[in-house]
Amino acid sequence: MRAVVFREGSRWQVETVDAPRPGPGEALLSIIKTGVCGTDEHLLHGGFIAKFPLVPGHEMVAEVVALGEGASWPTVGTRVVVDNTVFCGHCDACRRGTVLYCSNFVSLGCNAAGGFAEQVVVAAGKLYPIGDLDPDIAVFSEPTACAMHGVDVLALKPASDVLIFGAGPTGLILAQLLRMAGAARVTVAAPTATKLALARQHGAHHTVQIDRADAAAGVAELREIAPLGFDAVIEATGSTSVLEHAVSLTRNGGTVLVYGLAGEDALAAIKPYEIFSRELTIKGSFAQANCIGRALFALQSGVVSTDGMITAEVSLERFGEALAGLKDSEQIKTLVSPSL
């Protein structure tokens, strides 16, 4: 079968690889489409939890085409989304109920074969039928699940005033989930006017265009919106300079959520005394655990809208265009469809 394969040295190409076969309790899936994420670029360069050679792609919509021994559900022909996280169940973290810190954590598309391929094998218990939901909406289940986990970690109080840095798919989804979770006002700050317009369409109360290279004007405008600071500030860009601004824009006693994926060796200048004297809380949000079902329901019910977020769809052979799109400020979400 055809698959995108990442290899050491930031190399990739579409290769012909052996088609997978389902083992006991597993399902063989035919990929319908898989979303491209900024994490994919980190993985290409050996970041995050990459393990080479790797077939990437963790935002999968697929159809069940065969079942392994002992698996009887979902039935063949069912369209599904994939929970790409796999936990061992026996390490200390799993036994304490904190599975996201599993010592043997596996993430399909990150350190095990994922969905930028014609087929993939997944444990049947990790599949969620999408019913008649459009695959173009269902493909947002994994990023919505990650955003939902971030909202869980943040644990907003009712009527909170929230600032989000970033208007990519995650920022746009977070803005909607945060309003459901108790935010009385959501402000989105990002560099691209078209993305900010989409943020307003999806319910952001304020948007501020901010240049990461020269953020002073944007920060001043944000201070005008919340002179005493925001109750919670979410850094969803992976930029360390943005994180530094996030701390300064947080209200005394407030919370900063580090959601964006920065390089493993990246450093941000944060003053310990400021955290101490203002009693700030800094939290992190890594991946998701057991949130796919809720995320799919949010998409099926329409309370999370993805209108306008898909800006390109390409074949496996045009995967390079998908990677380039991650650096294009006008692109939001690119999908890879093996059938194209």
Distance CA 256, CA 74 (A): 40
Residue 249: pLDDT band with limits 50, 70, 90: very high
23 pLDDT more than 90: yes
User: With left for phi above 0 and alpha for psi between -120 and 50, is residue 93 left, alpha or beta?
Assistant: alpha
Residue 212 in this model has a pLDDT that exceeds 80 = no
Reported residue count of the chain is 340
Residue 40's alpha-carbon distances to 132, 174, 223, 312, in angstroms, are: 28, 20, 34, 16
From CA 319, how far away is CA 208, in angstroms rounded?
A: 32
Share of the chain above pLDDT 90, in %: 96
pLDDT for the residue 114: 98
Q: In the chain, where are the structural domains located? A: 2-140+309-336, 144-284
Confidence of residue 58 (pLDDT cuts 50, 70, 90): very high
Q: How confident is the model at residue 125 (pLDDT cuts 50, 70, 90)?
A: very high
Query: Which pair of tokens denotes residue 48?
Result: 């995050």
Residue 216's pLDDT is 79
Rounded average pLDDT over 43-48: 94
* Predicted pLDDT at 252: 98
**pLDDT, position 215:** 76
Residue 200: the pLDDT is: 97
- pLDDT at res. 214: 75
As a whole number of angstroms, the distance between CA 147 and CA 140 comes to 11
User: Pairing relation of β-strands 333-336 and 310-314?
Assistant: parallel
Q: What pLDDT, on a 0 to 100 scale, did the predictor assign at position 165?
A: 97
Q: Confidence class of residue 169 from pLDDT cuts 50, 70 and 90?
A: very high
CATH architecture under which domain 144-284 falls: 3-Layer(aba) Sandwich (3.40)
Domain 2-140+309-336 has CATH 3.90.180.10: yes
In terms of pTM, does the model score above 0.85? Answer: yes
Q: Is it the case that residue 211 has pLDDT exceeding 90?
A: no
* Mean pLDDT estimate for the chain: 96
* pLDDT one-digit tens code per residue, 273-326: 999 999 999 999 999 999 999 999 999 999 999 999 999 999 999 999 999 999
pLDDT of residue 210: 93
Q: In what order do the strands lie in the sheet with 281-284?
A: 206-209, 183-190, 160-165, 230-235, 250-258, 281-284
- pLDDT, tens digit, for every residue of 74-89? 999 999 999 999 999 9
* Averaged pLDDT, 153-178: 97
pLDDT reported for residue 197 = 97
Which one-letter amino acid corresponds to residue 338? P
